[in-house]
Amino acid sequence: MPPKAVSPLTGAPPPLPVARPGVPVAGSSTAAPKPLPHIDQARLNYDLTEAESQYCQNLAEGERGNFKLFAIGYKLAEKDWEAKKRGLSTIAHWKALNGNERKRAEFLAYIDSGKKNPDPRLCPENFVFRPGELEYFEALPANDQEPFRLFTCGWKVLQHKSSGNEARIIELWETMEDRKRKRVIDIGTVWSEMFEGIGLQSGPDAHDYVEGVDGAPKPRPPATRRDGTYVNEEMERLGRPGIWRFEKTLYQNLHLKTMRSRRIVHVFTRVDDDGLIAERIVVKIQGETSMAHLIARVQNEYDIQELLSEKGCRNILSLYGWSTRTREYYPILAYGFMEYAQFGNLFDLKDHRRRTDTQLPEPFIWMVFRALAEALHLMHTGKLIDPDEPAADTKIANTALKKESGWAPILNLDIKPMNVVLGDADPGGPFPAFKTPKMIDWGVAFKDGQLPGNGKGCGTRGFLPPEQTTTTNKYSSEAVGMHSMIHNVGLTVLNLMDGESVSCENPKQRPKHSSEYDGLYTEPLEQLVHKCVDVNPKNRPTLHHVLYATRLGLARWEKVYGQVRGKTLDELPDFAKVVLADEEFRIGDAAPTSWAPKKRKAEENAEADEEAPERSSQRSKTSHHPEAFEEAYDAPEEADAFEEAVQTTIIQKERQDARRTTRRFHRRARPPANPFTVIESGTSQIGKHDHPRKGTS
């Protein structure tokens, strides 16, 4: 029986919330109603009705969040759309289950369903460009770019999983009549602002924001005052005492009030007695709603990064330690302290070269190729490899590579240009003229034999080799392994060579150069890269061969064009140089007088608008019905639903703005705190590897 049919007075347990709109509940003889448009389904499932909203406001403050989650979970299981519109059934079931110990499991099941099924209208994929959309956006006149961005957001909010591929969205933008296009832009505007405004904080942990310039986007938020205090405490425990000051925020993902992880990455510098920068670190802060969730997310990631850091590989970003901080409110935070690589990532480098219409020198490409292969060798064997090895191309299978005693091979399933950064050149390394590539982000790395779901679906869409995707294909039965990482190393190098974004969307087709590719690299490099990205795992080269071929390929290039190994940047010919922008926060430079951010003008001082996440070029696999828009919104009654969707989102935005105004009013009178005053005593749970004094609290 569906939940609607259960009387709250009978004690009969409702089913777990597994039904979906338009699908009959198992065991029910009631015919399924005609599915509503996606936007209407989302509104009925995720927005409180007037009755539900009034009831929620009368609950104790601590119960309101659970009621909202319960309402989502219950309505996802409820198939009667009319009941959802009234909201009374939701309230009745809440009253019947809340506080009833015999029905506690069912009560929690609805709440859990609400947590696990976030509002699809606020799905991050709705608000980021895919590669084709980004390319089209950049080619548009400046005055059309923002409307196009909002149009893509609005269309994805309206259609969600059936939003179509990039070409279809571009086609709709170009051909849709002005009236309809403006409606889609309106929806995109409202939901983009809601997406950016979710997760607003108040109190000592709220971010202070710097004013934007000439209408430019506001910068990512700096560290909070408590972050600054905590970083100084933890760096002393890690054996790196001193005055550590915030310098810059490198990245922030969206802070959604769901079970989704929150993440922000800062740069801190240590200042010596003369006020000069003496040391730099990256502080990666992640938040979860419980300590169990937090440890489950970060423990494996940091354990693997620590294990690799201890080996001293120049191509792995070093981890100095990590710890967790509990608070009286969510989220609970984990702090990772690691090496600072100041020259950006390979995606940024590729993108810069594309915009400037320049080509990366081939010896640099060979160096990156070899560096990533050396990182794979360490991950697989637990041992470093000499730059001159292997001397010969003997046929050694991946499984036959000699491992350190007791070493469990590590698989990183998310190797891509954004996860390879460039650090300082290594004067004692083989390539002192080039910045050093370093792998980062071990959140999707696992020891062999511990892959969740055998690794299927793990990683980034567009960078999954055929055997790693969940899409059924000829190679689905192949295990994920070293050959999968070799594929992604090859795809990363292919992106550097091409300058355009190259991905592997179709498991039946090998990734290939874009139509803009000039083909100016040597044949050995082209052949090796394309062997690595072969769709058949068995056809890809072994790691031993990649190590040999990258060493030999560079040696052959040097024989023709001149040596780069052992040379400084000044000693290289111009055509072999990679000159990057001057580094920020250079060792020995004068530090700023204070890391505290500039305050907003008084009337806006406490507003905390979260910045949208970094634009991603991840491509999603969606289907599209060509006439979906026309069929859904041309009929009069469904056109009314469309207009209602627009009005609903505008009303929600107005309510949100009202809540922001209230927050500003209450926070305005709060005096600024000293950046390093300990306001809250956070409980520190230090990993065994974090500092020499184990057990220190």
Q: Are residues 243 and 130 in the same domain?
A: no
Q: Are residues 454 and 365 in the same domain?
A: yes
Q: Are residues 432 and 569 in the same domain?
A: yes
The last residue of one of the domains, among 76, 98, 117, is 117
The last residue of one of the domains, among 117, 136, 159, is 117
pLDDT band at 645 (very low <50, low <70, confident <90, very high): low
Q: Are residues 492 and 631 in the same domain?
A: no
Q: Are residues 549 and 464 in the same domain?
A: yes
Q: 237, 153, 244: which is closest to 190 by C-alpha?
A: 153
Q: Tell me: the pLDDT tens digits for 417-442?
A: 999 999 999 999 999 999 999 999 99
Q: Are residues 109 and 135 in the same domain?
A: no
pLDDT band at 54 (very low <50, low <70, confident <90, very high): confident
Radius of gyration, alpha carbons of the chain: 27
**Residue 516 scores a pLDDT above 50:** yes
Residue 335 is predicted with a pLDDT of: 97
Q: Are residues 73 and 97 in the same domain?
A: yes
The reply to whether 202 falls in a domain is no
Q: 591, 696, 628, 687: which is closest to 299 by C-alpha?
A: 687
Q: Are residues 407 and 540 in the same domain?
A: yes
Q: How far apart are CA 17 and CA 11, in angstroms?
A: 17
pLDDT band at 162 (very low <50, low <70, confident <90, very high): low
Q: Are residues 282 and 242 in the same domain?
A: yes
Q: Are residues 590 and 567 in the same domain?
A: no
Q: Which residue range(s) make up the domain with 169?
A: 122-197+626-667
Q: What is the dihedral of CA 119, 125, 127, 132, to 10 degrees?
A: -160
Q: Tell me: the pLDDT tens digits for 651-690?
A: 555 555 444 433 333 333 333 333 222 223 233 333 333 3
* H or E segment and range at residue 250: strand 243-252
Q: How far apart are CA 246 and CA 424, in angstroms?
A: 21
Mean pLDDT of 465-491: 94
**Residue 646 scores a pLDDT above 60:** no
Residue 134 is predicted with a pLDDT of: 86
Q: 151, 96, 144: which is closest to 127 by C-alpha?
A: 151
pLDDT band at 237 (very low <50, low <70, confident <90, very high): very high
pLDDT band at 488 (very low <50, low <70, confident <90, very high): very high
In angstroms, the Cα distances linking 612 to 122, 198, 239, 416 are 12, 10, 36, 22
Mean pLDDT of 221-229: 87
Q: Are residues 30 and 127 in the same domain?
A: no
Which residue pairs from 15-21 have beta carbons closer than 8 angstroms and sit at least 24 positions apart in sequence?
15/77, 16/77, 16/106, 16/109, 16/113, 17/73, 17/74, 17/76, 17/77, 17/109, 17/110, 17/113, 18/77, 18/113, 19/76, 19/77, 19/78, 19/79, 20/76, 21/45, 21/76, 21/79, 21/81
pLDDT band at 591 (very low <50, low <70, confident <90, very high): confident
* For the ranges 86-95, 238-247, 283-292, 580-589, the one whose mean pLDDT is highest: 238-247
The last residue of one of the domains, among 61, 89, 117, is 117
Q: Tell me: the pLDDT tens digits for 367-381?
A: 999 999 999 999 999
Q: How far apart are CA 383 and CA 404, in angstroms?
A: 6
Q: Are residues 150 and 91 in the same domain?
A: no
Strand 332-338 with 319-326, pairing: antiparallel
Number of domains within the chain: 4
Q: Answer yes or no: are the C-beta atoms of 577 and 361 closer than 8 Å.
A: yes
Residue length of the chain: 697
Q: How far apart are CA 191 and CA 152, in angstroms?
A: 11
- Lookup: tokens for 222: 């700096």
Say which CATH number the domain at 242 has: 3.30.200.20
Mean pLDDT of 348-366: 88
